[in-house]
Amino acid sequence: MATKYHSGVIYLGNSSFSDYICVSEQGKIISDEEFHSSEIQTEVNLDGKFLSPAFRDGHSHPLFAGRESRGLDISDCTTEDQLIQKLTEYDQANPTLSWIDAAVFDRSWNIRFDRSTLDKAIQDKPVVLHGDDHHTLWVNSKALEIAGLLNTVLPDLDSGVIDIDDEGIPTGILREWPAMSMVIDHAPKITTAEDIQALLWADQAQAAAGIVESVDAWIDRGMAETYLAAWESEHLQLDYTLCFRADPATFLEDIEYFIKMRSALDITNGQISGSSIKFFADGVFGSASALVSEPYLTTGEHGQSIWPKERFTEAVNLAHDNGFQIHIHAIGDAATNLCLDILDKLENYTYPPVIAHAELTDQATLDRMVLLGAVACVQPYWAQNNGLLLTCKEHLGQERLERLYAFRDMAETGVTTVFSSDWPISTYEPLKGLAVAVNRSEFEGQVIHNSDQAITVEHALANYTVNVKKMLDSENTGTLEIGEPFDAVLLDRDLFASEKQQLKTTKVLATYKSGKRIF
Ligand SMILES: [Zn+2]
């Protein structure tokens, strides 16, 4: 049975529109002739709604988001009283829980970020709060005690920070993974069945937001196995590219496992690909740990390099020689240039290399990215004056703050720019990211963040669709042209004809993947 979709505004994703679109039984977009020569024909009236290529998320953490959704949501708290009340009520309602996990706290809250604040709510079991940057944990005394971080000499960490008070006692704030894992490693292990449920929840949430494909940018041991098990359940709907996380301490052993897992995923016929390795070049601005060329105003330092340069170069080379895509977290300008120095020496990419975040760039850096064919995988939702941006201000100063998220310069310089969510750090909904990319603000009355860097709806759509396909070096284009799979999203309003301020209230009515309606 072939289907003809008509009577809507149909955007093909290649700067052109069509009056209708025909789809084969197998879910491929076909020509008029093919449609008329098919035995059974049916029609779908789009009723004036807007059909566009479906969204793709270039950098997300669906499994983490799914796991996080199992804990307590504290994102709506704004005061200490509210937080304590919420934690206390949750503890009373869930007496069997041996560990309290909650997300996310806003680091710009005017609250004393100390273990004693959380002790007011719960003392007899560990409480772990995840910060909105997901690079910060705030824990109570019990959690520190279980991690062996109280009444002891603190360990020397290669990177990451355990904040201490005047007496050298941990305050309860842990920064970056090496410090955070000292507590998190003691959390009760999630069962395989629970993990699959968490992933399927995230899968469905993304489908409902118009997404048909997602890149999971942090895969540790056990996570690819969850993806595989979810695929075997036959309920996993989206396509995924998994990025195995390169840990500087264990990379040489881990890469053997990455290669093995990449082959194991072949069974999914391309629905899940293990083709990428994720590196961290630096930290984040909010903790003054991203690598910057000019020192931070607060610390006078240049941030933290996660790898010694020589070992970083070796590791990237090894990943490249084994045919993996290089996907590097680089936030500061010095981190991006450090990556480009390393990438500069590599030849014959299987996939274009990806700089994830690339938050602080200048023209020279963007020119280098074009030359090297490096993709900028950025988060449009962050380009607004909110708490996340404010936590960077004191460290960077106003001038550098204004230079963040130079999406228009990227587009005009010719850098392949991919939009992504970094969910659960921020919302997974592409329409919200798209609205911020166009408006450089989310809400009316909000101070606009560098309006010069606003981009058009057409560019924003490309960054969420065809450019993601380019980044993944896919056979498909991500458009709605003849021969492509019918991967499409139906929206309640024409994005091109809408008032810019209304974009964020656009609703997803249906999501199609290879012709099948998945939402
Ligand atoms: Zn990320």
Cα-to-centroid distance, 328 and ligand 1 (Å): 10
Distance 280 CA to ligand 1 centre (A): 10
- Report CA(73)–ligand 1 centroid distance (Å): 20
CA of 150 to the centre of ligand 1 (A): 30
Burial of 137 (0-12, 13-18, 19+ CB in 10 A): buried
pLDDT of residue 78: 87
317 CA to centre of ligand 1 in angstroms: 22
Output the CA 61–ligand 1 centroid distance in Å.
Answer: 7
| Ligand 1: centre distance to CA 218 (Å) | 7
How far does the centroid of ligand 1 lie from the alpha carbon of residue 28, in Å? 32
For residue 421, give the amino acid letter.
S
Q: What is the per-residue pLDDT across 101-153, written as a single tens digit (0 to 9) for each?
A: 999 998 878 888 999 999 999 999 999 999 988 889 999 999 999 999 998 88
Q: For the chain, report the end-to-end CA distance as a whole number of angstroms.
A: 20
Residue 307 has φ and ψ, to the nearest 5°, of: -120, 145
> How far away, in angstroms, is 423 Cα from ligand 1 center?
7
Sorted by sequence, the CB contacts under 8 Å of residue 228 that are 6+ apart come out as 264, 265, 267, 268, 272
CA dist 424 → 204, 366, 505 (Å)? 15, 27, 20
Q: How far is the CA of 241 from the centre of ligand 1 (A)?
A: 14
276's enclosing H/E stretch is strand 272-280
Beta strand segments in 298-416, E:
325-330, 354-357, 375-378
How many whole angstroms from 10 Cα to the centroid of ligand 1?
A: 32
Class of residue 185 by CB neighbours under 10 A (exposed 0-12, middle 13-18, buried 19+) = exposed
Q: Which residues of the chain, if any, have pLDDT below 70? A: none
Q: What is the distance in A from the centroid of ligand 1 to the CA of 103?
A: 16
CA of 420 to the centre of ligand 1 (A): 9
Q: What pLDDT shows up at residue 158?
A: 76
For residue 345, how far is its CA from the centre of ligand 1 (angstroms)? 25
Å from CA of 40 to ligand 1 middle: 46
Q: How far is the CA of 111 from the centre of ligand 1 (A)?
A: 26
Q: How far is the CA of 422 from the centre of ligand 1 (A)?
A: 5
CA 183 – ligand 1 centroid, Å:
20
CA 439, 441, 447, 453 dihedral sign is negative
C-alpha of residue 216 to centroid of ligand 1, in Å: 8
* pLDDT at position 157: 85
- Cα 350 to ligand 1 centre (Å): 22
Which residues hold their Cβ within 5 A of ligand 1, which is an ion?
A: 217, 422
* CA–CA separation, 306 and 303 (whole Å): 10
Instruction: Say which residues have a Cβ less than 8 Å from residue 328's Cβ, sequence separation at least 6.
Output: 278, 279, 280, 281, 316, 339, 353, 354, 355, 356
Cα–ligand 1 centroid distance for 7 (angstroms): 39
Residue 263 CA to ligand 1 centre (angstroms): 24
- In angstroms, rounded to a whole number, what is the distance separating the alpha carbons of residues 264 and 242? 12
Distance from Cα 146 to the centre of ligand 1, integer Å = 28
For residue 122, the CA-to-ligand 1 centroid distance in Å is 30
